Amino acid sequence: MKPSTDPRILSLAGEVAKSPEHNVPVILLKLKEIIDNIPLGSPELMKIKRDIYGHELIHYCLLVLGQDGSQIQGGWTTVCQIAQLLSNCCVGLELGEDAEEFYKELLPSAVENFLLLARRLQMRFINTAKVEEKDEFLCFFQIVADSLFWLLGGHVQLVQNVLQSDHFIYLLQGDNVQIESTVLAMLQNMLHMNSGSLQRIEGKTLHSILDEVVSKLFSTPSPIIRRDTTKLLLLMIECHWEILIFLRQSGCYKGFRRLLSQQETGTKFSQKLKQLVDILSPAVYQKVEEQKLHQAACLIQAYWKGFQTRKRLKKLPSAVIALQRSFRSKRKKILLELNRQKEDEDLRLRLQLQRQRAMRLSRELRLSMLEIVHPGQVEKHNQEMEEKSALIIQKHWRGYRERKNFYQQKPFLTEYKATVTLQRAALKFLAKCRKKKNQFAPWQGLQELSDSRRVELKQQVDDYVRRHSGSQMSDVASRELHAQAQEQLQHYFMGRALEGRAQQHREALMAQISTNIEQLMKAPSLKEAKRKEPELFLSRSRPVAAKAKQAHLTTLKHIQAPWWKKLGEERDDPKDELNVELETLFFGGTKPS
């Protein structure tokens, strides 16, 4: 069960809620009496702090720190006491559900209010002329600085917030020795507590802090400030090696090492000063550069190894699944193999039992038949059984022999089939060749005529000669005329094939010309055409290309001619001649529009 709230905190929270705003700081000081009476580290103190946070009394303390102390009852003393109270309540406070709000909102706001209060006290200290008031404000500033340092000791992550705050930069810009010493000591203690925070702040803020520290080293006459500044510079270089590189390479710090060497020796901080000068030497700088390269290489290796490890871890589930799948499939195959072997063994045993059972039944049947058969017929029965057994043995032997011969003759059968296939292909090829040869020599003479047909043809020839009597021709002249007729007939058949191919070529050209005409009719204008579209209309015909080039040149000549040469052509349209020339480029199609 959740423990009950302390009645003192409960009554105090009610009093704060009912009281006017100017009385709240004085009422909050009663928390100091409650906390001081409880021993440190006790569970009761932890419970009291949780109750204070739960009733938002810490938020009221935070609001008081942001106000001007001169306008509050009790003045700056009350504000400083509330600052101590706030740091005590925040240190050691452990929360459960509200931890994110406490760490991300309340603590950074508390740091900003502490720095704002310290800055106001610094301004009061500077603007006050009285010595007593200066000592009082200096005491208040020291109390606020101690409270802030106590808060940072309990929450180290807040060091980065302090270094990034503009109020802290203004605190470093002060010129009072005591305040400067306190701020430098606080910065040095913060770097001791959390040295890595210096590497996480922005470069502009880091350079501002470095500028203030270096300026104090050369501008202040106080040896105490110079000693603290030298120690602080050494600590900053130790925490962040890039500061050394910046001091060496930046033009703002040109001659920084020479000015350090000119500082007077024999002082209390001469050893630290010599150490700083030695660190700024070229040898140490080169060593730092090598160390930086080594750290960069280590960082790259760390990132690469982390990437590889994350990649392997990301693939690990799929690898485990694949391994499990492989193991299960292998185990399944082994189980299937074992089951198959078991089934084969069972089948073999069953077959063996069946054979034994069949043999036993056969023997029992033979014995029973021997008992039934007459003794005189036993010999005949045995002879019949032997003949049947011999026939079965011969049948199996002949089957085995034929199968063996077949496997031996199988390569010869394959060769025979291949030979038949080759012969069939060769015969087809020869038939094609003969067919092609017959196309060029179609006249092979007359077919053989029957006797009746020959007599009929001879009678027709005699009748034709009797009706058309002509000059007598010798046998030699007839043979020459017959030879000429055969030669002309052969030329006719040979030319017919060539003429057929020429006709096919003409039809293909006409089809191509029709396609080109259709493409030209549907083609876009030159303004709308893209880069590759004009290439589609280039003709492969040289006469057409020459005619197109001539028409193009004629058009260009007419366009580029001076105006006085066109005076006689105003009556006639110059485009008519161009259209006449362009019409000759189209064959069998419509005229261009």
What tokens appear for 63 in the block? 């609001």
For the chain, what are the domain ranges? 1-154, 172-280
Measure the CA–CA gap between 189 and 585, rounded to whole angstroms.
98
Between 297 and 58, name the one with better pLDDT: 297
Tell me the H-state helices in 373-449.
378-440
- Is 328's pLDDT higher than 90? yes
pLDDT digits (tens, 9 = 90+) for 125-164: 888 778 788 888 888 888 888 888 888 888 888 888 888 8
pLDDT tens track for 329-357: 999 999 999 999 999 999 999 999 999 99
Region 308-327 average pLDDT: 88
Q: Is 237 exposed, middle or buried (0-12, 13-18, 19+ CB in 10 A)?
A: buried
pLDDT, tens digit, 9 for 90 and up, residues 377-404:
778 878 888 899 999 999 999 999 999 9
At 4, give phi and psi (nearest 5°).
-75, 155
503 within 8 A of 572, measured Cβ to Cβ: no
Res. 580: pLDDT tops 70 = no
CA separation (Å) from 390 to 19, 93, 169, 277, 578? 130, 109, 121, 120, 109
User: Of 16-25, 107-116, 210-219, 296-305, which range is least confident?
Assistant: 210-219
**Running DSSP on this structure, what letter comes out for residue 72?**
S
Residue 180's pLDDT band (boundaries 50, 70, 90)?
confident
Residue 370 backbone zone (phi > 0: left; psi -120 to 50: alpha; other: beta): alpha
Residues sharing a CB contact under 8 Å with residue 333, sequence separation 6 or more, in sequence order: none
pLDDT at 127: 81
Lowest mean pLDDT segment, chosen from 131-135, 286-290, 420-424, 465-469:
286-290
- 3 Cβ neighbours under 8 A, 6+ residues apart: 47
Supply the pLDDT for residue 591. 38
Q: Which CA distances in Å does 90 have to 67, 494, 560? A: 20, 118, 94
Q: Among candidates 78, 30, 87, which has minimal Cα distance to 58?
A: 87
pTM of the model: 0.47
Token readout for 374 is 């007459």
More confident residue, 187 or 243: 187
The C-alpha atoms of residue 136 and residue 182 are separated, in whole angstroms, by 15
| Cα–Cα distance, 58 to 51 (Å, whole number) | 10
Provide the angle, in degrees to the nearest 10, between the axes of the packed helices 242-249 and 223-239. Answer: 110
State the sign of the Cα–Cα–Cα–Cα dihedral 132, 133, 138, 139.
positive
Q: Compute the mean pLDDT over every residue in the chain, rounded to the nearest whole number.
A: 77
- Percentages helix, strand, coil for the chain, rounded to the nearest 5? 80, 0, 20
Tokens of 574: 């110059």
User: Could you give the CA distance from residue 533 to residue 518 in angstroms, rounded to a whole number?
Assistant: 15
The lowest-confidence range among 79-88, 388-397, 450-459, 462-471 is 462-471
User: Given this model, what pLDDT does residue 590 score?
Assistant: 40
Cα distance between residue 356 and residue 362, in whole Å: 10
Q: Is residue 64 a contact partner of residue 24, using CB atoms and an 8 Å limit? A: yes
**pLDDT value of residue 245:** 63
Exposure letters 298-324 (e unless 16+ CB within 10 A, then b): eeeeeeeeeeeeeeeeeeeeeeeeeee
What integer pLDDT is reported at residue 533 of this predicted model? 64
Is residue 248 within 8 Å of 288, Cβ to Cβ? no
Cβ burial of 263 (10 Å; 0-12, 13-18, 19+) is middle
Task: Classify 524 as helix, strand or coil.
Answer: coil
Q: Mean pLDDT over residues 23-46, rounded? A: 78
